[in-house]
Amino acid sequence: MSTLVSVRGLTRVFDVSKPWLNRVLERQPKALLTAVSDVSFEVAENSVYALVGESGSGKSTIGKIVVGLLRPSGGQVEIAGVDLATETDGARTASMRAEVQMIFQDPYASLNPRWRVRDIVNEPVRARGGETAGLAERLLEQVGLAAEDADRFPHEFSGGQRQRICIARALASGPRLIVCDEPTSALDVSVQAQVLNLMSDLREDLGLTYLFISHDLTVVQHMADTIGVLYLGRLVEEAPRDRLFEAPKHPYTRMLFDAAPRMDGFGREIDPPKGEIPDPINPPSGCAFHPRCPLATERCKRERPEMRTLGATRVACHLAE
């Protein structure tokens, strides 16, 4: 299976300093927040690669870099061999941008409330000078809505229907890759299942590739082929879905699984997750997880573990064996 997305050494740093004059008066240095730190992974064509982790782990930042909404501070992202951040061929860049779309977390916030659904769905094609006659109606029917819904406004739909409109808009330009940033977290559980099944069907019918961002392990288990686990902007484990759920090797991955609700978990007693995610402006030395890790040693506090391969799993842990 060929590789569609290649992420190598990806780093993104945000300057969150106070204004210059305030820093001078208060004698404070610049404050730099490292949201993503040296992340590398590959997404095979016509597959689903999921990024999971707690809030603040860098999932959404990676998604925005992949679609070109943010520029990386270091490393590179190539989609079908094109790096959107450095490519100088304008025609090639424009063509690739049309093949990469994004579905956002809040369907209502990502839809223009003053536009009719027809204009919202057609906009990605109209912006490139393409033909839009009948396009919105066809796509709305494809995602389970009615063609006449094209004349309505976003506020006239439920949350699940709005997310279907967002999916129709993402499909309008005929993409190869769709970045899904928590696409069902704002929806009811019953509606989540409908939207996820729709996305699975569209992937099979259209040969789509998904970069799926979520904190919900149940959703990830349903959707993903490969899972990458992020902690404080660092990729700590990556494995095929079944392998990861059967035998997680990183203590943080095990903590996520233990904390997740389970249908057979009534009455089970587990220790609650210890501590909070450290301050990304001043991260811990060595392994970022060591302040919360029950297995941490002195080496974990001193030395940042490198990604290494153990069977089908890649893991960044000194004690993974």
The secondary structure of 238-284 as a DSSP string is EEEHHHHHH---SHHHHHHHHHS--TT-TT---PPPPS-PPPTTSPP
Q: 3-state class of 82 per DSSP?
A: strand
3-class secondary-structure state, position 294: coil
Task: Specify whether the CB–CB gap between 230 and 296 falls below 8 A.
Answer: no
205: CB partners within 8 A, 6+ apart: none
- State the pLDDT at residue 273: 62
**C-alpha 192: how far from chain center:** 17
pLDDT, mean of each 10-residue run, the chain (321 residues): 91 93 90 93 95 91 93 92 81 84 89 94 88 91 92 92 92 92 83 88 92 90 93 94 93 86 61 73 90 90 92 91 79
**317: nearest Cα among 301, 300, 294, 298:** 300
Q: Which residues make Cβ contacts (< 8 Å) with residue 232, sequence separation at least 6? A: 37, 56, 57, 58, 277, 278, 280, 283, 288, 289
176, two tokens: 């190869």
Q: Within its chain, how far is the Cα of 101 from the centroid?
A: 12
Q: How many Å apart are CA 321 and CA 310, to the nearest integer?
A: 8
Residues paired with 313 in a beta bridge = 310
| Domain 3-99+175-262+271-315 CATH superfamily | P-loop containing nucleotide triphosphate hydrolases (3.40.50.300)
Q: What share of the chain is helix, strand, coil (3-state, %, to 5)?
A: 35, 20, 45
Token pair listed for 91: 């025609």
The predicted structure's pLDDT at residue 93: 82
Alpha-carbon distances of 211 from 5, 79, 184, 276, 306, rounded to whole Å: 9, 12, 14, 27, 24
Look at residue 232 in the predicted model and tell me its pLDDT. 92
The residue among 90, 52, 96, 95 whose CA lies nearest residue 78 is: 96
Strand 234-240 to strand 100-103: parallel, antiparallel, or no bridges (unpaired)? Answer: unpaired
CA distance 78 to 96: 10
Residue 158, SS3 per DSSP: coil
Residues 130/62, Cβ–Cβ less than 8 Å: no
Q: How much is the pLDDT for 131?
A: 84
Q: What is the pLDDT of residue 267?
A: 58
Residue 145 structure tokens: 């809505």
For residues 175 and 255, give the distance between their C-alpha atoms in angstroms, rounded to a whole number: 36
Candidates 224, 203, 210, 197; CA nearest to 52 is 224
